[in-house]
Structure 1
Amino acid sequence: MSYAGLVLAAGAGRRFGQPKALVEYDGRSLLDRAVATLREGGCRQVLAVLGAQAEQAMGAAKEPFTPVLNRRWGQGMSTSLQAGLAAIPERYDGVVVTLVDLPHIRPEAVRRLIAAADDGAELAAATYDGERGHPMFFSRKHFDGIAADAAGDRGARNYLAAKAALVREVPCPGDAGDIDTPADLTALEGGAAA
């Protein structure tokens, strides 16, 4: 079995004040961190959906990835998920999906999701202290259903709820705390200036 990785990174980051794909944390952009996490976790190819300031994000990136341009990014995260799933090459049996603004997700979480997929899971979600978060795994047979159900800023949540019996929860180290504002970033950096 072979799996791709997908980073959703198209948003403008309105609450932050700039696209989060361009935000630096601990010396690396959030986009580079997310791409590296998926690759180090075992994804054979990593795709990143870009939208707002896509050219700047591609130009600043140091980690190699396959860009997917979402021209409809302003219509919500669902459009990025749809564009990303449609771009996954046919040779992959499934995809591990994460968001760009989750800097504490570890490669081990990706490895555990891939292990669950190899063990037969069709859908899987990382959990942290019992709370479901990212990354998530979707087998290819679910791509069309997930894409059809996604709307606005709602990604796969409703689809996964409808398929609850198929979703394997995978306990993972780290945490899925996100960065929404400059204050969040400052807090993560231990009070250092962002």
Structure 2
Amino acid sequence: MKAVAIILAAGEARRMGHPKALIEHEGGRSFLQSLASTFGKAGCAVLGVVGKDSEAVREQHPNLMLVESTRWQDGLMSSIKAGLTAALEEGADLVLLHPVDMPAVRASTLKSLLKAMGDSDEGLRPEFEAAAGFPVLLSRVAAERLMESDTTQLDAALGAVKLRRVSVKDPGVVVNINTPETYERLFGTAPRLAPPPKRRVKKAATGAVTMPSSGMELGASLDE
């Protein structure tokens, strides 16, 4: 079964002061880079949904598949539907919906959730200490049903989908880093941008080395 993780990163992040997809998580990686690595380790293809500050996000993540949510201002469901459309066109049998500001989820947790999902034609959602978390896993059938929803609220839309709750021991499924205060409490510093991606050094025909270009200027914000 082909599993596609949809990382939702199209909003405006007014409180954070920077696009969440570009904020540094750990090891110099952005939230989006960190999540792409985690979901990749769990065997998922990764698809990011961008909107506000999409050009900056694309420049920072040249190797990721990114799709545009042209109506991101209409709310989270607009971005979800943009991601679902792309994932289903890619032949996804299973999709995992995950916000970009929740980068602490573990690959081992994702593997367990995928195993628990099996070949169900509905979906499941992890919970930690009885609190509902992410990612939300949906079968292709359930994803198509979600696409038909006319509500702008995810929780209301999920009401049309039968979700089984699965208890996990990973607090990362509920840790939402969506305020400067939360970020500073976890990392000991104000929110900051991840460094620009390293570019492969190219050798010129003469044998000389062409150095990577310098860093870029990023700004604005992004909040689902």
- Which TM-score band applies after superposition, normalised by the shorter structure? 0.7 to 0.9
Percent identity of paired positions between Structure 1 and Structure 2: 32
Residue 10 of structure 1 contacts residue 49 of structure 1 at CA under 8 Å; is this kept in 2? yes
* Distance in 2 of aligned mates of 1:80 and 1:160: 15
Structure with greater helix share of residues:
1
Corresponding position of 1:3: 3
Corresponding position of 1:103: 103
Aligned residue type for 1:31: L
Residue 145 of structure 2 contacts residue 160 of structure 2 at CA under 8 Å; is this kept in 1? no
Please, what is the CA RMSD of the aligned residues?
1.8
Corresponding position of 1:127: 127
Are residues 141 and 121 of structure 1, via their aligned partners in 2, closer, same or farther at CA, if it must alter by over 3 Å?
closer
Q: How does 1:46-57 map to 2 (within 5 A)?
A: 46-57=46-57
Structure 1: tracts of 5 or more residues without a match: none
Are residues 13 and 114 of structure 1, via their aligned partners in 2, closer, same or farther at CA, if it must alter by over 3 Å?
same
Q: 1:158 aligns with which of 152, 156, 160?
A: 156
Runs of 4+ off more than 4 Å: none
Corresponding position of 2:24: 24
Q: 2:171 aligns with which of 170, 174, 187?
A: 174
Corresponding position of 1:82: 81
Aligned residues: 187
Are residues 150 and 188 of structure 1, via their aligned partners in 2, closer, same or farther at CA, if it must alter by over 3 Å?
farther
Structure with greater strand share of residues:
1
Residue 12 of structure 1 contacts residue 19 of structure 1 at CA under 8 Å; is this kept in 2? yes
* Distance in 1 of aligned mates of 2:145 and 2:92: 17
* Distance in 1 of aligned mates of 2:14 and 2:189: 22
Corresponding position of 1:35: 36
How far residue 126 of structure 1 moved from its aligned partner, in angstroms, is: 1.1
* Distance in 2 of aligned mates of 1:141 and 1:68: 22
Residue 5 of structure 2 contacts residue 47 of structure 2 at CA under 8 Å; is this kept in 1? yes
Residue 145 of structure 1 contacts residue 159 of structure 1 at CA under 8 Å; is this kept in 2? no
Are residues 91 and 113 of structure 1, via their aligned partners in 2, closer, same or farther at CA, if it must alter by over 3 Å?
same
Structure 2: tracts of 5 or more residues without a match: 192-224
How far residue 121 of structure 1 moved from its aligned partner, in angstroms, is: 5.7
Structure having the higher Rg = 2
Are residues 192 and 14 of structure 1, via their aligned partners in 2, closer, same or farther at CA, if it must alter by over 3 Å?
closer
How far residue 116 of structure 1 moved from its aligned partner, in angstroms, is: 1.9
Residue 12 of structure 1 contacts residue 52 of structure 1 at CA under 8 Å; is this kept in 2? yes
Q: 1:192 aligns with which of 177, 189, 193?
A: 189
